[in-house]
Structure 1
Amino acid sequence: MIDQPIVQLLTALALGLLIGLERGWHERMMRAGGRVAGIRTFALVAVAGQVAGMLGTLLTPWIPVAALLGLSLLLALGYRLNSDEDRDFGTTTVIAALLTFLLGLLVSIGESTLAVGAAVIVTVLLHFKETLHGWIYGLNAEELRGILQLGLISAVLLPVLPNETFGPWDTLNPYEIWLMVVLISAISLAGYFAMRLAGAGKGIMITSAFGGIASSTATTLSLARMSQQLPMYRLLAGGILLASAIMYPRILLLVAVLNVELVQQLSIPLGGMSLTSFAMALWLWRKTEADGEFDSSQLNQKPFQIGPALKFGALLAVIMLAAEGIRAEMGEQGLWIVSLVAGLTDVDAITLTLTRMTDNGIGQQIAIVGITLAAISNTLVKGILAGAAGGATLLKTLVPGLGLSMLVGGLLLLI
């Protein structure tokens, strides 16, 4: 049905009207005749693309090529005349018109779904021009460098790595290890920008929530150190518990990327720990008499650093080797020892390792127990760090929440 010529024609017309509506609205204040292309022109351009594609299929493929060249000349002439008169040298509308023609061609070859999806994306990008420019103007050098570095390790380095195993027990896969580095780095960078967009002025509650996305351990250390200048222990302890509460769903997200079958069972202990931590954080904040604010830049001096990413990759490789070695010598139950020890430093690495190993022979229940034990030991470490950096008063305030969370996780795991 969707491949019938009349349906294709109407589809091309619809996507042309969509893009043209945005362009017409954006340039609605321009003088009459001052626009290179408006809603009617965009609709006609899309229909022209569909008709040219259909004629190219029936007669000769040179027809859409000639039509595209002719349209390019017309748009170039209109752009030249418009820029000479209005001194407006923006090429966005011209590029959008050419893209609309190509989307019409896509419709003519039976790719209507792709064309409509692309039209929606193009319209959104065009409409949010000011917002996107505002984000660019708000970027500092470190943030831009972070985005470029993430692009480097994901789009440049990742595709060239060999996707095959080697080493002791045939364990190490460079592509998979680096993919995990990219995944963790992307989550951390997203958490950093989430903090930037929320703003530091909204207080510790929101900053703790976004800090938990990036690194709950880093957030714990930052809030604990702040207690020396801001002795609001209930508020800070609530922030630490909120960051921990968000860590558990983040673990589930990492697991879902590799093995969604584990999520349902794993969500019972981790969900219980998350809800407990959140409830205790809320209780502490309700008992807090004053509000506190701080600079969110204290959580992350740099949004992305290559050094920590490389260290994480090395740690992941070591844990993979240790896990496979212990499994070979002690059986699957020996992995639980690795989980407890690995969780003391980084819960993400052991989570990714055990999830990956479910594809290589270990039972799902072994992975679920190991990941939960790693989360429990990581929660214990937060208490130790908070006590060392923030002192006895903060630790005393924090212990009930962390202790109850670990107890709930352990009980739900046994059940």
Structure 2
Amino acid sequence: MNVDPGYLNFLKTLALSAAVGMLIGVEREHVHPEKRVAGFRTFTLTGILGGLTTYTVAGCPLELPTTLAAGTVALVVLLYAMRAYTGRSLGLATPTALLVTYAAGGLIGAGRVQEGATLAVVTAVLLLSRSRIHPVLRRLSDKDVLDAVTVFALAALAYPLCPPRPVDPWGVLNLRKVIETVLLVLAVTALGYLGMRTSVKGGVLTTSVVGGFVSSSVTTATVAARFKDVPQVPATVTPAATSVALLRNLALVAAVSGDITVVKKTAHVTLPAAIVGLATAVHVSRNMDVDEEHLRRAVGKRIRSPLSLKPAAKLGLLIAGFSTFLKIGQLLAGRAGLIVGVIAGSLASSNAMSISLAYMVDSGALDPNTAGTLVALASLEAVLVKYLWTGVFGGLTVLERTYRTLLPQTVAGAVGLAVTLITDPG
């Protein structure tokens, strides 16, 4: 018995559009009944309606999908009005989620399965994070909010004024791409800052993870200076914070460059170094006697919001400066000029150097193979520079203790770099 392919496609659309509705509906079902506008079944049906709307666009009169779309919006408004009529305090999250569910189902019906599924997952995560996000946001100061608004407002004003093409003779500085890169990096780094501002008391490893996500160098320097009498603390925090910074940089390099070759070569160093560093930190942290609240406060006081004008301008200047510096070095001395430039620049900021190299790939100013090897080199230097910070801010005792915990991470990163060089001997 032959089954009509069109019917099979309909069943597929029905199942997938129902699935995205179920995903969001499961989360909403956990909301207290007295506050819930819609639950599992309503969200499932809304996803199906969205899928049917776009599915019927091609083979049915326009009136049918139009009616389905208008009916869904009217239903959401009616549901909310009915609940509001009872005099209960209701938010807009659930009605909005219904409309997003309808849109996700619509993407499924249009054949955009990945986009529809991604939209549903993001929506479910946002709804689930309510109890976690709200306390964090309330901890933000007025200055934090004002700084963030200022950065994005200035970026919105400056972006259209920047020329769409590179402004330098070497074709490196595309100011619009620089702004996009800066905003992306600051937005990701801000997640770590929000974690630092939470009221949840974290242990040594938690503080290391959050601090490393914002700035592993600041975290290392602060802990080395504040805990000279307890060298086991910087010996634990440093490899853990560095590991998180390496993983964060890997994600940022992937997002900025958009090139799998760069990501693979970078991962040769970052993944083994991060895994070994975290494992070492976990081992050393056992039975460690330290005032965890004092540690969290010490690191938290030194961490500044990345979504403010000063770090935004600094990162933008570093990306522009490093990119130009590397391009000139390449023109003057070829690959050797690039290597010297990366080593010198990474002493100032290995994070900005890695992002600059990824930016150059995205701009077409550097080939992915070369950039991947150089980012791997900058990633290893991010580990090596921690010896300098612990020695300068903590003294010889802290350096001697931290050396033992950083060494396995260093070896893992060096082996990874060797693999990168072997795969790219040129």
What range is the shorter-chain TM-score in? 0.7 to 0.9
CA contact (8 A) 1:142 1:303 kept: no
CA contact (8 A) 1:22 1:123 kept: yes
Q: Are 2:392 and 1:393 aligned? A: no
CA contact (8 A) 1:16 1:42 kept: yes
Residues 326/392 of structure 1: CA separation in 2 closer, same or farther (3 Å cut): same
CA contact (8 A) 1:211 1:299 kept: no
Classify the secondary structure of the residue corresponding to 1:165.
coil
Q: CA–CA distance in 2 between the matches of 1:271 and 1:116?
A: 28
The equivalent position to 2:246 in structure 1, one of 245, 248, 255, is 248
Aligned to 1:327: 330
CA contact (8 A) 1:345 1:378 kept: no
CA contact (8 A) 1:46 1:100 kept: yes
Q: Encode CA deviations 1:272-303: one digit per residue, 9 max, x unaligned.
A: 544554465456445x6523312142241435
Q: CA–CA distance in 2 between the matches of 1:346 and 1:237?
A: 21
TM-score by length of 2: 0.73
| Alpha-carbon distance, 1:131 to partner | 4.7
CA contact (8 A) 1:150 1:186 kept: no
| Alpha-carbon distance, 1:315 to partner | 2.0
Q: CA–CA distance in 2 between the matches of 1:302 and 1:400?
A: 32
Classify the secondary structure of the residue corresponding to 1:166.
coil
The structure that has the greater radius of gyration is 1
Q: CA–CA distance in 2 between the matches of 1:263 and 1:53?
A: 37
Q: CA–CA distance in 2 between the matches of 1:255 and 1:334?
A: 21
Residues 399/148 of structure 1: CA separation in 2 closer, same or farther (3 Å cut): same
Classify the secondary structure of the residue corresponding to 1:247.
helix
Q: Encode CA deviations 1:9-44: one digit per residue, 9 max, x unaligned.
A: 6766666677666666646358xxxx8766666667
Gaps of 5+ in 1: none
Aligned to 1:180: 181
Aligned to 1:292: 291
| Alpha-carbon distance, 1:317 to partner | 1.7
Amino acid at match of 1:308: P
Classify the secondary structure of the residue corresponding to 2:348.
coil
Identity of paired residues, percent?
Answer: 26
CA contact (8 A) 2:166 2:174 kept: yes
Q: Are 2:217 and 1:217 aligned? A: yes
TM-score by length of 1: 0.75
Residues 392/174 of structure 1: CA separation in 2 closer, same or farther (3 Å cut): same
User: Which range is displaced more, 109-118 or 290-299?
Assistant: 109-118
Q: Encode CA deviations 1:349-376: one digit per residue, 9 max, x unaligned.
A: 3223334556445583x54554454445
Amino acid at match of 2:339: W
CA contact (8 A) 1:204 1:292 kept: no
Q: CA–CA distance in 1 between the matches of 2:254 and 2:164?
A: 21
Amino acid at match of 1:28: P
CA contact (8 A) 2:172 2:327 kept: yes
Matching of residues 369-384 of structure 1 within 5 Å: 370-384=374-388
Classify the secondary structure of the residue corresponding to 1:388.
helix
Q: CA–CA distance in 1 between the matches of 2:112 and 2:377?
A: 49
Q: CA–CA distance in 2 between the matches of 1:362 and 1:18?
A: 41
Residues 63/140 of structure 1: CA separation in 2 closer, same or farther (3 Å cut): same
Amino acid at match of 1:241: P
User: Which range is displaced more, 247-256 or 353-362?
Assistant: 353-362
Q: CA–CA distance in 1 between the matches of 2:106 and 2:249?
A: 44
CA contact (8 A) 1:341 1:374 kept: no
| Alpha-carbon distance, 1:116 to partner | 6.2
The equivalent position to 1:304 in structure 2, one of 287, 303, 307, is 307
Classify the secondary structure of the residue corresponding to 1:304.
coil
The two structures, once aligned, show a CA RMSD in angstroms of 4.3
Q: Are 2:353 and 1:354 aligned? A: no
| Alpha-carbon distance, 1:47 to partner | 6.5
Amino acid at match of 1:202: G
Amino acid at match of 1:348: N
Aligned to 1:341: 344
CA contact (8 A) 1:106 1:112 kept: yes
Aligned to 2:231: 233
Residues 97/242 of structure 1: CA separation in 2 closer, same or farther (3 Å cut): closer
Amino acid at match of 1:328: L
| Alpha-carbon distance, 1:330 to partner | 1.8
Q: CA–CA distance in 1 between the matches of 2:134 and 2:390?
A: 40
Aligned to 1:316: 319
Q: Encode CA deviations 1:99-156: one digit per residue, 9 max, x unaligned.
A: 6666676677666775666556555555655555444444443443465456547766
CA contact (8 A) 1:332 1:362 kept: no
Residues 334/47 of structure 1: CA separation in 2 closer, same or farther (3 Å cut): closer
Classify the secondary structure of the residue corresponding to 2:170.
helix
Q: CA–CA distance in 2 between the matches of 1:316 and 1:150?
A: 17
Matching of residues 10-49 of structure 1 within 5 Å: 26=31, 28-29=33-34
CA contact (8 A) 2:254 2:263 kept: yes
Q: Encode CA deviations 1:161-209: one digit per residue, 9 max, x unaligned.
A: 434223243322212322332233123212222334584x333222112
Classify the secondary structure of the residue corresponding to 1:253.
helix
